[in-house]
Copies of this chain bind each other. A is one copy, B any other.
Amino acid sequence: MDYLFAERMSKTPRSFIREILKVTEHPDIISFAGGLPNPSVFPVEELAQVSKDVITDEGAAALQYATTEGYYPLREWVANRYNSRYGLSVTPEEILITHGSQQSLDLCGKVFIDKGTPVGIEEPGYLGAIQAFSMFEPQFHPIKLESDGPVLNDVQRCMEVDSCKIVYGVPNSQNPSGITWSDTKRKEIAKIISEYDRVFIEDDAYGEIRFRDEYYQPVKKSIPDHVVMNGSFSKIITPGMRMGWICAPEKVMTQLVTAKQATDLHSSILAQRIIYRYLSEYPIDSYIKKITDTYRSQCDCMVKAIRQEFPDSVSYTVPDGGMFLWITLPEGYNSLDIFNKALEEKVAVLPGIPFYTDGGGINTLRLNFTNSSCDQIEEGVRRLSRVLS
């Protein structure tokens, strides 16, 4: 039979990454294509014990229906973390626990985006956000990224010419580019957003994964009422439980809670209690240090190998956090060709095209460094350099 699907389905790209990963899963392929955290640092034993303890000690309360907003002690933990780390003044009531950052984006889409709503997004932009928002059929307006963050003229144009209602961005170690917005850029953008009285969706998935001992204040610090901030336990504990959160001003939170009820009632109360207990019983800062130490050394390996192996005509970002590095090939190169040729050399890369909402990015690639050993990274970069030259 012919099914009559909703219009949005023809506008939402099926994840190119997830399709590509099926091709690159063979064990003899060195893959820089995915975006997986390094499983060697997962706190497996700790989580096994904590899971059993939570169900044994808390019984039915850990298994029954629960409140839409989330488990209060966990909301409190998130608020406290923001306040101590970023100097924000957030209350637990401003935190909603979600089934991961991707769901936070879905809920933001529901609350803010009508068909045709103008939305500003970084270029290249986070694919998950492009997908989540596409479900609500916005009009995307790209804001070009340069080495210290968004091009300010593009942000200004987005407000003035395109009338963007919301702007989405990832100021810390952006996915896919690895770029971190400078302090100056953050303040300038906060000024523009508040001047036009718009909403900034500040995705801080990588805010805890910093390679140097420094970080900048989030945009939310300057204009708290104008910012909805998303965070995730995927990068600092594990992603498989799908646990994240949204931090939003009260009036926005009321709408988000209605959307969350309609979407899946509430987030897994078992997962929330497991994570809270883990955070209470183990020192999260030293665990995060272990993750950042590991990722920093993997990133250093990749940067070093690229510096040695790649032709000078290829440019690349040097991330100070996160999981990705961004490659720009000379004009005329097609990253889909590179993808195919690299696969013949048994190394997988991710073409940058799906990160562009306007069909650009043909000569760009995203490389992930967290899921390969230093040896694999060196070998993979060598193979890739053969393809490039």
A residues sitting closer than 8 Å to B (CB atoms) are 1-9, 12, 14-15, 18, 35-37, 39-40, 42, 44-45, 47-49, 51-52, 55-56, 59-60, 62-68, 99-100, 102-103, 106, 110-115, 117, 128, 131-132, 134-136, 165, 197, 199, 225-226, 234, 238-242, 251-252, 255, 257-259, 261-271
List 29 A-B pairs, Cβ < 8 Å: A1-B197, A1-B226, A3-B199, A3-B251, A5-B255, A6-B111, A6-B117, A9-B110, A9-B259, A15-B68, A15-B261, A18-B67, A35-B65, A36-B64, A37-B64, A39-B60, A42-B60, A44-B60, A47-B55, A63-B238, A65-B240, A66-B240, A102-B262, A106-B262, A132-B262, A132-B263, A135-B259, A242-B267, A268-B271
Q: Which residue of B47, B102, B111, B251 contacts A63 across the interface (Cβ within 8 Å)?
A: B47
Is A111's CB under 8 angstroms from B9's CB?
yes
Asked if residues A5 and B111 are in contact (CB atoms below 8 Å), the reply is yes
Say yes or no: B226 contacts A18, CB within 8 Å. no
A183 shortest CB reach to chain B, Å: 24
Residue of B whose beta carbon sits closest to that of A223: B1
CB-CB < 8 A to A114: which residues of B?
Answer: 6-8
Whether the pair A14, B268 counts as a contact (CB closer than 8 A) is: no
Contacts of A39 in B (CB 8 A): 59-60, 63-64
Find out whether the CB atom of B268 lies under 8 angstroms from the CB atom of A242. Answer: yes
Measured in the bound complex, the distance between the Cα atoms of B44 and A64 in whole Å is: 11
Q: Which residue of B lies closest to A98 (CB)?
A: B264
Determine the distance from Cα of A103 to Cα of B271 in the docked complex, in whole angstroms.
17
- Residues of the B chain whose Cβ atoms lie less than 8 Å from the Cβ of A62: 240
With a cutoff of 8 Å between Cβ atoms, the chain B residues found around residue A99 in the complex are: 99, 242, 264, 268
**Which 7 A-B residue pairings sit nearest by Cβ, starting from the closest?**
A39-B60, A48-B55, A52-B52, A63-B238, A51-B51, A63-B240, A103-B264
Q: By the criterion CB–CB under 8 Å, are B4 and A165 in contact?
A: yes
Beta-carbon contact of A8 and B110 below 8 Å: yes
Instruction: Find chain B residues with CB under 8 A from A238 CB.
Output: 63-64
- Which residues of B have CB within 8 Å of A242? 99, 264-268
In the assembled complex, the Cα of A48 lies from the Cα of B62 at a distance in Å of: 10
Distance from A118 Cβ to chain B, minimum over Cβ atoms (Å):
11
Known: A9-B255, A9-B259, A242-B267. 18 other contacts (CB 8 A): A1-B225, A6-B110, A6-B114, A8-B114, A9-B110, A12-B262, A14-B257, A37-B64, A39-B59, A40-B60, A42-B59, A44-B59, A63-B238, A64-B238, A65-B239, A134-B262, A242-B264, A263-B263
Query: In the complex, are the beta carbons of B115 and A18 less than 8 A apart?
Result: no
| Least CB separation from A261: chain B residue | B15
- Docked CA distance A5–B112 (Å): 5
A226–B39 Cα gap in the complex (Å)? 42
**A268, B237: Cα distance in complex, Å:** 14
User: Which residues of B sit under 8 angstroms from A234, Cβ to Cβ?
Assistant: 65
Asked whether B18 lies within 8 Å of A135 as measured between CB atoms, the reply is no
Least distance between A204 CB and chain B CB atoms (Å): 18
Q: Do A102 and B3 touch (CB < 8 A)?
A: no
The reply to whether B265 and A128 form a contact with Cβ atoms under 8 Å apart is yes
Nearest CB of chain B from residue A38's CB, rounded to whole Å: 9
